[in-house]
Chain A
Amino acid sequence: MNNPFAGDNSSIQRRETLARWLLRLGSYVVVALTVSIFLFITVKGLPHALKPGFLTELTSTLHVIESNDGQVFKTNPVEADVIKKQLGDNFRSEKTISYSGGGILGPIVGTALLVIVSVTVALFLGVCCAIYLSEYAKKGKFLETVRLAILNLAGVPSVVFGLFGLGAFVLTAPVLTDAPADRAIFVIPLFFTNLSFQGWDTCVLSGGFTLAFVILPVIITASEQCLQAVPQGFRETSMALGATRWQTIWRSVLPFATPGILTSTILGIARAAGETAPIMFTAALAFKDKLPWQKDLPPLPADAGMFAHWEQSVQRFLGVFTESVQALPYHIYTLAAKIPQNEYSEQAQYGSVFVFLILVASLAATSIWLRIHLRKKYKW
């Protein structure tokens, strides 16, 4: 029977098929790549990451001792001496691998501190800026210039931010001090102390501020979009009921933009946690045998009052931010590029990478969960 609706195998149809397969192929390649990265890291890193103490111990030098009867001991510097003594004549060889022993508690804590500082600074500056741009600024040349500047900021390579941080925060930023350092660029005497532009040194604060500038464009742009997504009707209604602009923003715009701002902030956290270059010159150390709050403070006299104890706690807390720290991305960089490679450094390296990946993935998951959850609450 004659079928008038039969497809003719024309070139149009062949192109349609071709296009569909090409697009499908592209998507599959992306999925395959993502999955293979995760698998690769998991296979290589999971066994090491599960070792006892990997998440709870500080980094140390790994000592690998071999005995004549073929035993292999992997241990830390202190125990290495004990084992060597026990082995006596049985001792054959000892290898030391820097930064590859112990765990990665130091880098995890350091990264957490850097993220806390950078997100606090970036969120405050970014949301202020976004609110001004979205709610107060009049459309015009100035606004376009500011937007362009923000976009450009997003395109600046992160190592440039690192050098900027070195110049601005490590070497120049002002501190209050009674005894200004010689390297201070200039000193403004105040009545009771001096404002000395001598920099904050390499520390959490310098690194956090530098990272804040890295994620600032993301936070500003995303926050502004979230503010713009709040219906204009809310603003008009609120103003028509006699609210000021700030009351309107505070009661009827910001609450409904918060889910989106939080989501973008979490993605900013993932970005800040992952950057190496900005913290290289501003905050990160390859090795540190103490946590930032384990600092030797002068012992208090036995009769010290509550106030002295309280003051020392505050000092200890603030001191955390003026310490330099280890950080996960810099730790991985050190293990992968700064020390001679062998199977032991590789294990430590992939173990850290695996933990890092899980941290970032869980941040992303939190962000998605938060968005779904808050969207449900604030629907209009």
Chain B
Amino acid sequence: MTAEAPATSAPPIISVERFNYAYGDHQVLFNVDLPIRSEDVTAFIGPSGCGKSTLLRSINRINDLVDSARVVSGTIKVDGVDLYTPEVDPIALRRQIGMVFQKYNPFPRSIFENAVYGLRVAGVKDKAELMDAAERSLKAAALWDEVKDRLHELATGLSGGQQQRLCIARAIALQPRILLMDEPCAALDPIATARIEELIHQLRDRYTFVIVTHNMEQAKRIADRTAFFYKGEIVEVGETLDLFTRPKNKLTEDYVTGRLA
């Protein structure tokens, strides 16, 4: 509902405009307006079923896979290009917008094959190039030292936290500019969670992060800006500190203080 103008004059990298989205006849997003700046880590918070994951999954059009999913009206633009026009190839789009899912889900293949999956499907065959990319992305995901001696072992043998960092490495191997994360720590213990958050801090200058989280403390720790979703609408969006300490909306206040289930 309320969309703040970006503080800087630079145009937002992602711009959601009057976006309405539905599964069949069931509308889940209503008139969402949201500019996302490239230098920010943006968090989406809100109760289950509020539409925050749907919006995230609409940004790389992975929600196209859901049979009945459709855009009712409105647009999402990245660098000013409307993503939902026939000229946009979702495959090409997804190469430039990485995504990390809630349940860490490396393929039951080797660590190396997981890391270079995106490059392989993009047609890269050169061994040295693949090895370079694997090393670069695993280093960036702070996993290299732990796995460099067993790159060809099954990825499913890693710990949960390591598997999730491998998923991050896999996403950044394609050198996207935007990383979408759908509750990346929901299945992890606190120590593994802390490592992922640390990683986001290290990488925040290189990628635009958009993170869905159920954990409000996490949003406070990692996000510059936070958007609060409720029943398919954005109730409030602003600087994280402001949103949590001086919420403008009663609903937001109830939610961040735990009075809204």
Contact = CB atoms under 8 A, between A and B. Distances in A.
Most-contacted residue by chain B among A239, A240, A244, A379 (CB, 10 A)? A240
Interface stretch (B103-111, B218-226, B227-235, B237-245): B103-111
Contacts, number: 66
A29 interface: no
Contacts of A247: 121
Interface in A346-380: 378-380
A231 B101 CA distance: 13
B171 A241 contact: yes
Contact of A234 (B107, B118, B121, B171): B107
Interface in A237-295: 237-244, 247, 251-252, 256
Nearest to A137: B67
Nearest to A140: B67
B67 A242 contact: no
Chain B binding surface, main DSSP class: helix
Most-contacted residue by chain B among A235, A243, A244 (CB, 10 A)? A243
Most-contacted residue by chain A among B103, B105, B107, B174 (CB, 10 A)? B107
A236 B91 contact: no
A233 interface: yes
A13 B214 CA distance: 51
B98 A244 contact: no
B256 interface: no
A235 B60 CA distance: 14
Contacts of B91: 242-244
Contact of A233 (B105, B122, B156, B170): B105
A311 to B, nearest CB: 38
Contacts of B21: none
A235 to B, nearest CB: 7
Contact of B156 (A237, A244, A252, A379): A379
B167 A238 contact: no
Contacts of B101: 233, 236-237, 240
A231 B170 contact: no
A373 to B, nearest CB: 15
A378 B105 CA distance: 14
Nearest to A248: B121
B62 interface: yes
Most-contacted residue by chain B among A139, A239, A241 (CB, 10 A)? A241
A118 to B, nearest CB: 32
Interface in B102-150: 103, 105, 107-108, 117-118, 120-122
A236 B171 CA distance: 12
A138 interface: yes
Contacts of A238: 107, 117, 121
Nearest to B117: A241
A256 to B, nearest CB: 7
Interface in A50-73: none
A76 B174 CA distance: 74
Nearest to A380: B108
A235 B98 CA distance: 15
Given A242-B91, A380-B156, A251 B60 contact: no
A233 B101 CA distance: 8
A240 B94 contact: yes
B121 A244 contact: yes
B103 A240 contact: no
A367 B188 CA distance: 38
B99 interface: yes
Given A233-B103, A238-B117, A139 B67 contact: yes
Interface of B: 60, 62, 65, 67, 91-92, 94-95, 98-99, 101, 103, 105, 107-108, 117-118, 120-122, 156, 167, 170-171, 174
Given A242-B121, A243-B118, 14 more contacts: A234-B105, A237-B99, A237-B101, A237-B107, A240-B98, A241-B95, A241-B118, A242-B91, A242-B92, A247-B121, A251-B120, A252-B107, A380-B108, A380-B156
Interface of A: 138-139, 231, 233-244, 247, 251-252, 256, 378-380
14 contacts: A235-B65, A238-B107, A239-B94, A240-B62, A240-B94, A241-B171, A241-B174, A242-B92, A242-B95, A243-B91, A243-B117, A243-B121, A252-B107, A380-B105
